[in-house]
Chain A
């Protein structure tokens, strides 16, 4: 079974803090993705990566950056957290078309 893990299930941070969300997959997948999920808006793609050290902007990259130093790990960074970044963050990985998701991190920024 594909396993995608995320470093935290719940996180509370203060406005202005730098926040790191970590995602690890164990299936040697080339592609990794970060989404945010908000009620009524579905999933919105923030960034994705198709190889180590490669990254591409998704639909809503503003306020976020990513890092992929190793194939199995994809990090999402909030440089200066703001209250409008309070959301559920989902990581996914894929070899080709099927995406496999982690359990999500619910981030609250106060």
Chain B
């Protein structure tokens, strides 16, 4: 089945850019998502990209998709302390057209002053 990998931790200084990376194994994946989870809360859909796109920008967020390398990244510009959270990559729509996403284990983003 699909496998989605993320590094577990990322530490950045306030005001810098953060880049969170994700790799996946199923090249037929159709939809790729980023979710944010703040402490003690559920997951909030941040942004998504379709597999026929290379890039999507939404205010401070930029999603890049490299289908050849099966690599997805989320860049947060001007990172703030309120961006401290766990970020999950999720991939869906691979072989068989399943609507059940495969999640990575999440990257804890720590933003320090």
| Docked pose: A103 CA to B48 CA in angstroms | 20
User: How many of B's residues come within 8 Å of A, CB to CB?
Assistant: 23
| Docked pose: A86 CA to B28 CA in angstroms | 36
| Docked pose: A68 CA to B48 CA in angstroms | 29
Q: Is the CB of B42 within 8 A of A42?
A: no
Given A31-B99, A97-B92: A41 and B43 interface contact (C-beta under 8 Å): no
B45: contacting residue among A99, A102, A103, CB under 8 A: A99
Residues of A contacting B: mostly: strand
B101 neighbours in A (Cβ, 8 Å) = 97, 99
> B: which residues have CB within 8 A of A?
8, 30-31, 33, 35, 40-45, 48, 88, 90, 92-93, 99-101, 103-106
> A: which residues have CB within 8 A of B?
4, 31, 33, 40-43, 45, 48, 90, 92, 94, 96-104, 106
